[in-house]
């Protein structure tokens, strides 16, 4: 199966300018990216710096799981057998360190507390979040507590390279090979996803003119993002397309398998039991493997 996306979902680190200036004396994305990465050792060093000044590096360690999950080199399942990428196992210790050292506010993603941290209503101010342009345009913008610079945290954000390259989400188009209208639909999908000219959907979408709402999503086309301005008042005037074009080039898709959603939830449960529940690493991995076997048994029964 081959599918194409119109949306650029290469992900970056979206951080607070005022906090960066307070801790490191600069909010320059070129400098901040080297403070938080590459790699998770630098990220933890940054977390310690932030904690010393009274800040959390992220809202909860769930935030870190997403880039780790979506940057692995090995899929969960190979020939029907479970494979645990070394980066996944390393996440258990990373989660425990982030939680144990109080480097986060202890929230879980997509909860009220997680959103509250975007507008400084949590126990400590949070430095940043991971995500693609839709995280900037819809999630953080919609929950920042303001609509223009000076209101809430609006205008106090910037985007830089993440510790590891990854992508997150996306809407994908494909046409059934037996479709009565496959030629016509093929032309439509080419216009939506591949046409990088000024007449293509990619260009008008990234310009914020197709839907006439002013929102400028990152395009799947790097050509378009290099020819269209992604400057944003929300990001203090930064052109976010420069960052998200690089982010797309850092991402890989080696980790993808058909079982990702269910298995990844099981692994995050294991991390919580290890970081917060007092269980040993051996115990949580054993419990995870049992859940995997149960899942595969269910899938086998469904397929029969």
Q: How many domains does the chain fold into?
A: 2
CA 92 remoteness from chain centre: 19
Distance CA 127, CA 145 (A): 16
Note whether 129 and 19 are same-domain residues. yes
Distance CA 171, CA 303 (A): 27
Give pLDDT, residue 113.
98
Give pLDDT, residue 295.
84
Give pLDDT, residue 206.
95
CA angle (137 as vertex; 132, 138 as ends), nearest 5? 100
Note whether 42 and 183 are same-domain residues. no
Digit-coded pLDDT (tens) for 253-262: 777 777 888 8
Digit-coded pLDDT (tens) for 27-66: 999 999 999 999 999 999 999 999 999 999 999 999 999 9
Note whether 162 and 23 are same-domain residues. yes
Give pLDDT, residue 300.
53
Distance CA 288, CA 270 (A): 6
Across all residues in the chain, what is the average pLDDT?
93
pLDDT band at 10 (very low <50, low <70, confident <90, very high): very high
Q: Is residue 293 part of a domain?
A: no
Give pLDDT, residue 299.
62
What's the rounded mean pLDDT across residues 149-159?
97
What's the rounded mean pLDDT across residues 121-137?
97
Digit-coded pLDDT (tens) for 254-294: 777 778 888 999 999 999 999 999 899 999 999 999 999 88
Note whether 111 and 157 are same-domain residues. yes
Which of 167, 184, 218 corresponds to the end of one domain? 167
pLDDT band at 251 (very low <50, low <70, confident <90, very high): confident
Note whether 24 and 153 are same-domain residues. yes
> Alpha helices of 181-257 — where are they, by DSSP H?
182-193, 201-207, 222-227, 240-250
What distances in angstroms separate CA 207 from CA 103, 196, 240, 247, one per listed residue?
38, 12, 12, 19
Give pLDDT, residue 303.
57
Note whether 189 and 148 are same-domain residues. no
Q: What is the pTM of this model?
A: 0.94
Give pLDDT, residue 158.
98
Distance CA 300, CA 279 (A): 30
Looking at per-residue pLDDT, the higher value among 215 and 212 belongs to 215
pLDDT band at 298 (very low <50, low <70, confident <90, very high): low
Q: Is 144 helix (H, G, I), strand (E, B) or coil?
A: coil
Distance CA 157, CA 154 (A): 7
Q: Is residue 255 part of a domain?
A: no
158: domain CATH number is: 3.40.190.10
Give pLDDT, residue 241.
96
Selection from 68, 13, 76 nearest residue 46 by Cα: 13
Note whether 31 and 147 are same-domain residues. yes
Instruction: Specify the DSSP class assigned to residue 136.
Output: I
Domain that holds residue 74: 12-167
What's the rounded mean pLDDT across residues 8-25?
97
């Amino acid at each position: 199966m081959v599918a194409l996306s119109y949306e650029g979902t290469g992900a970056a680190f979206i951080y607070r300018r005022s906090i960066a200036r307070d801790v490191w004396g600069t909010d320059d994305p070129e400098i901040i990216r080297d403070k938080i990465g590459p790699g998770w050792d630098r990220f933890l060093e940054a977390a310690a710096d932030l904690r010393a000044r009274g800040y959390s590096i992220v809202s909860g360690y769930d935030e870190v799981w997403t880039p780790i999950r979506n940057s692995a080199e090995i899929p969960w399942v190979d020939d029907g057998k479970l494979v645990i990428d070394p980066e996944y196992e390393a996440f258990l210790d990373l989660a425990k360190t982030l939680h144990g050292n109080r480097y986060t506010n202890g929230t879980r993603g997509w909860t009220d507390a997680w959103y509250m941290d975007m507008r400084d209503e949590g126990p400590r101010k949070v430095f940043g979040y991971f995500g693609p342009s839709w995280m900037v345009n819809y999630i953080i913008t919609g929950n920042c507590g303001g609509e223009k610079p000076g209101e809430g945290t609006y205008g106090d954000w910037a985007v830089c390279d993440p510790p590891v390259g990854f992508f997150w989400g996306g809407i994908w188009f494909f046409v059934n090979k037996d479709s009565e209208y496959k030629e016509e639909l093929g032309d439509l999908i080419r216009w939506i996803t591949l046409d990088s000219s000024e007449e293509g959907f990619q260009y008008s979408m990234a310009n914020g003119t197709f839907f006439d709402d002013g929102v400028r999503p990152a395009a799947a086309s790097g050509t378009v993002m290099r020819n269209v301005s992604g400057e944003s008042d929300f990001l203090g005037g930064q052109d976010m397309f420069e960052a998200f074009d690089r982010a797309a080039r850092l991402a890989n898709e080696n980790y993808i398998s058909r079982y990702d959603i269910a298995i990844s939830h099981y692994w995050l449960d294991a991390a919580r039991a290890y970081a917060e529940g007092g269980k040993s690493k051996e115990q949580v991995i054993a419990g995870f493997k049992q859940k995997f076997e149960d899942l595969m048994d269910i899938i086998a029964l469904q397929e029969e």
